[in-house]
A and B are shown apart, each in its own frame.
Chain A
Amino acid sequence: MGANTRTLTDSTFDEEVKSADGAVVVDFWAEWCGPCKLIAPVLDEIAEEHAGKVTIAKLDVDANPEIARRFDVMSIPTLIVFKDGEPQKRLVGAKGKGQLLEELADFL
């Protein structure tokens, strides 16, 4: 995991997502999900290249089902972009870096 990528849990989610400056992109993932693993290094790169503007935070849905349920996540990878604690945008399914940057452009 990249140095600029955070890890969230059911108990830390609310505080971390609300208190962050700028946008938080929460990556709902799990160990058994192949496409999740493919986008992980891409998200680490984005976290690195846009440090200070956006936080990439990972949430393992297997260990933290409560938050996944709260946001009705039924497919992974799902990325939800939060600002001031409120969900702004949702991306379902793995995508390449170019497409991710395009989708996240408003928050970078």
Chain B
Amino acid sequence: MTDSRHVVILGSGPAGLTAAIYTARANLAPLVLEGEPSSSGDQPGGQLMLTTEIENYPGFVEGIQGPELMSNFRAQAARFGADLIQEKATRVDISQRPFRIWTGDPSAPEPSYVADALIVATGAQSLMLDLPSEHRLLGHGLSTCATCDGFFFKGQEIGVVGGGDSALEEAIFLTKFAEKVTVVVRRDELRASKIMQERAFKNERIEFLWHHVVMDLRGEARLEGIEVENVQSGAKAVLLVTGLFVAIGHRPNTDLFVDLLDMDEAGYLRTQPGRSITNVEGVFASGDAQDHVYRQAITAAGSGCMAAIDAERWLESVGAHHAPPT
């Protein structure tokens, strides 16, 4: 049977759960489709579930662990009556209102849920290298989750690909276990924040391999090395590492909305400047699914709040706020 709601929120990272707290406090009884477990950032709680210490989220003087922060967000949303379900939307129909949302079998005749307003907060997930060898070696030396798998590389030499905050956070974390961490960076500078750069440069177990990209992975049953190429000289080399962690950027989890919502070439949802309003009336977008500029926990939370307020005002304007859900 189809379940009718005023507001359905897709995603349960900082954006989705902040939207849930605000819409719940507005008596809109939101339903949050949290997503399903995975070992990428596309999972209940979002990317922070794969991190360790969060030092820049205001209000936590000594910092807080990412998973703990998300567990607090969730408890706060539940406290005000948000309904949180560990399901992932597999299809949406936003061509008419109420919007229709499927979980499970996307070809089922009837949707699982219908909603007057929809808040998209599906976040982003890490990009992979897109190499054929990647599939074979995932879980056998190649990892998407440093906090999960760092432990297995005690005393070994490993690599991290990427030059942003995530790459350096992973590299620094991994030096707790690994003997040596080589960070492979395409350019000769890092995108990461100054504080992370300073920490990484000071760390004696971290080395940088500038101007290099990963061309292929070596090893059949387990990773034995990576083939790298100097982007300036074209010189090739092999780095003998037993572990590789990839942090080369993110892509938004917006596949569900291709051809349904306006998005840029990279798949980020387009909203009105400074608002959460998409090109479909009643659909609001927030967090990393929409923001390719800031991508912080605090900005995601802020934009989830904006989406909740935009949704509440819109529901009021169409007179759906006080009526039972359609």
Q: Is the Cβ of B145 less than 8 Å from the Cβ of A35? A: yes
Q: Is the Cβ of B151 less than 8 Å from the Cβ of A34? A: no
**For the complex, what is the distance from the CA of A30 to the CA of B49, rounded to whole Å?**
14
Total A-B pairs, Cβ < 8 A: 89
Q: Does A62 contact B (CB under 8 A)?
A: yes
- With a cutoff of 8 Å between Cβ atoms, the chain A residues found around residue B44 in the complex are 38
Q: Is the Cβ of A92 less than 8 Å from the Cβ of B138? A: yes
Which bucket holds chain A's interface residue count? 20 to 34
Q: Chain B 190-227, CB within 8 Å of chain A: the 1/0 string?
A: 00000000000000000000000000000001100000
Q: Is the Cβ of A38 less than 8 Å from the Cβ of B147? A: no
Q: Does A36 contact B (CB under 8 A)?
A: yes
- With a cutoff of 8 Å between Cβ atoms, the chain B residues found around residue A72 in the complex are 140, 221-222
User: Which stretch from B32-40, B273-281, B282-290 is at the chain A interface?
Assistant: B32-40
Partner of A34, one of B138, B139, B147: B147
Measured CB to CB, the nearest residue on chain B to A75 is B139
Q: Does B148 contact A (CB under 8 A)?
A: yes
Q: Is the Cβ of A97 less than 8 Å from the Cβ of B36? A: yes
Q: How far is the CB of B60 from chain A (nearest CB, A)?
A: 18
Partner of B37, one of A30, A35, A74: A35
Q: Does B143 contact A (CB under 8 A)?
A: yes
Q: Does B67 contact A (CB under 8 A)?
A: yes
Partner of A42, one of B37, B104, B243: B37
**For the complex, what is the distance from the CA of A75 to the CA of B243, rounded to whole Å?**
10
Q: Is the Cβ of B140 less than 8 Å from the Cβ of A38? A: no
Q: Does B179 contact A (CB under 8 A)?
A: no
Q: Interface on A for B, CB 8 Å cutoff?
A: 30, 32-39, 42, 61-62, 68, 72-78, 92-99
10 nearest CB pairs, A to B: A96-B36, A92-B139, A93-B39, A94-B37, A75-B139, A38-B37, A34-B49, A33-B148, A74-B152, A75-B149
